[in-house]
Chain A
Amino acid sequence: MNLNILQGKAKDGGELLILKGELDAYTAPKLKETLLELVDIEGASVTLDLSDTNYMDSTGIGVIIAAYKKVCKNNGTLIVQGLTPRVERLFDITGLSDIITIEDINKEETR
């Protein structure tokens, strides 16, 4: 399956990555490359929009964890938004929802 990564600006002025498709062992390296570069700056601010990510497995979680660790080191922020119920459950189980900022987004607003 495929993953499309669209890059833009978030409302807070930081970087925005919109992930469309499936985030799994095959597509995770693509996100890893883009995302880790974005967060590798002092004070980086990155938002991941997952509203159109219809599947994510543990490899995807791994990439987000790696990005989170980098952000912590660089005093930056990592925000995740638009979690589908399946992905939200994955964030809950793995404990990521405790430490990563998750924002709701109003679907209407983005359209």
Chain B
Amino acid sequence: MIDQEQMYERYKRLLAEYMEGKNEETLYNGQLFSRHMIECGVSPEDVLSVHIEIMREFFPNMDERLESSFDFLLEAMIGYGLAYREHQNLRFKQRQLETEIDIAANVQQSLLVSAVPEIDSLDIGVISKPAKKMSGDYYHFVRDEQNFLSIAIADVIGKGIPAAMCMSMIKYAMDSEPEQRTKPSAVLENLNRVVEQNVDPSMFITMFYGLYNEKEHRLYYASAGHEPGFFYSSQKDRFEELTAKGRVLGLDRSTKYREYEKLIMPGDMIVLLSDGVTECRTKKGFIERGEVVDLIRKRMDRSAQEIVDSVYKELERLQEFQLRDDFTLIILKRRV
């Protein structure tokens, strides 16, 4: 706290000095002093009250109307003082909330992070960035003893905390899947029932689920309304959409999912993404899916991790460093 008397004296000195000389230096000192008063939590009406008292001291025969004008101003400033203090308190609360969210985000991160397996035949790159502090995107890799790799990428509608809480539910539902390998369509059908039962009607989740057979280099996959990824065929030197049809999770309890299959040749690539990648909004409008493909193509000779990192950086820059939606990009490259 600032000493009331000290403040009075210092203000009086500065004010007197200014009324004498009207010089800029005094004004500058006044500004520094006001900053100090703000730091000490002095309210605007307190400053004004000091000002009025000093004026009365300086001009004992002040015009009565002038004097009452000060009282009027004081009354008006009380409201501003209140608003100022409420604002300060809200700022304090905001900082508290932010700390809480930071902790929650850390908890979520530790849930989310799925180690990328080291596989001789596949080069895997992943990047996942939340738009806000917490993410509604989810991915995982699980490899079993028979050299099957399961890959999941999911996107909970919306973003921020509600999406993140819903995502945690998906994570647990996935973890409680039976140990042995399950067909992608069966995994989605099971999750669909979980989501349908547990989630608010306007909440839904999209998911792509794939199972990669490392011996035969076949990808079995199914999609629950997820933004389609891409398949790059090295033989044709062409990107095509990794089409898979299926309803979003949580829409209809009895939904069945169709399973697809693709043979992956050396040099081929599978690109999986969340709609945060394709919904990038730049100054020129939405980024086209074709542009995302171009960004990948330009970097194709690099490692999968280098590609996703670099594509993210480029898209982040195009959006002037503001992500509108959670961003997840996964690339699997069959080594040559």
Contact = CB atoms under 8 A, between A and B. Distances in A.
- So, do A and B actually touch in the complex, CB under 8 Å? yes
Contacts, number: 62
Interface stretch (A11-19, A58-66, A77-85, A103-111): A58-66
Interface string B219-244: 00000111110000000000000000
Contacts of B250: 65
Contacts of B245: 92, 95
Contact of A57 (B226, B248, B279): B279
Nearest to B196: A69
Contacts of A25: 158-159
A92 B225 CA distance: 8
Most A-side CB within 10 Å, residue of B155, B201, B203, B275: B201
Nearest to B289: A89
A62 B203 contact: yes
A59 B157 contact: yes
B206 interface: yes
Interface residues of B, number: 26
A58 B252 CA distance: 17
A66 B246 contact: no
Nearest to B228: A93
Contacts of A59: 157-158
B313 to A, nearest CB: 23
Contacts of A69: 201
Nearest to B136: A58
A65 B202 contact: yes
Q: DSSP majority for the B interface? A: loop
A2 interface: no
A99 interface: yes
B202 A58 contact: no
A62 B205 CA distance: 10
Most A-side CB within 10 Å, residue of B206, B246, B247, B255: B247
A63 B202 contact: yes
A95 B224 CA distance: 8
Contact of A94 (B159, B202, B248, B325): B248
A99 B227 CA distance: 19
Nearest to B251: A65
A92 B155 CA distance: 17
Interface in A15-66: 25, 32, 57-59, 61-63, 65-66
A10 B250 CA distance: 29
Contact of A98 (B158, B200, B224, B247): B247
B194 to A, nearest CB: 17
A94 B202 CA distance: 14
B327 interface: no
Given A66-B202, A94-B225, A95-B225, A58 B251 contact: no
Contact of A95 (B202, B203, B248, B275): B248
Nearest to A94: B225
A84 B4 CA distance: 67
Contacts of B325: 57
A95 B157 contact: no
B204 A65 contact: yes
B279 to A, nearest CB: 6
Nearest to B252: A99
Nearest to A95: B247
Contacts of A93: 206, 225-228
| 9 nearest A-B pairs in the assembled complex, by CB-CB distance | A95-B247, A66-B202, A94-B225, A62-B202, A66-B201, A58-B157, A94-B248, A69-B201, A62-B157
26 contacts: A57-B275, A57-B279, A57-B325, A58-B204, A58-B206, A61-B157, A61-B248, A62-B157, A62-B158, A62-B202, A63-B202, A65-B202, A66-B200, A68-B251, A70-B201, A93-B206, A93-B226, A94-B204, A94-B248, A95-B224, A95-B225, A95-B245, A95-B255, A98-B247, A99-B251, A99-B252
Given A65-B251, A93-B225, 13 more contacts: A32-B202, A58-B157, A58-B206, A61-B248, A63-B202, A65-B201, A66-B202, A95-B245, A95-B246, A95-B248, A95-B251, A96-B248, A99-B247
Interface of B: 155, 157-159, 200-204, 206, 224-228, 245-248, 250-252, 255, 275, 279, 325
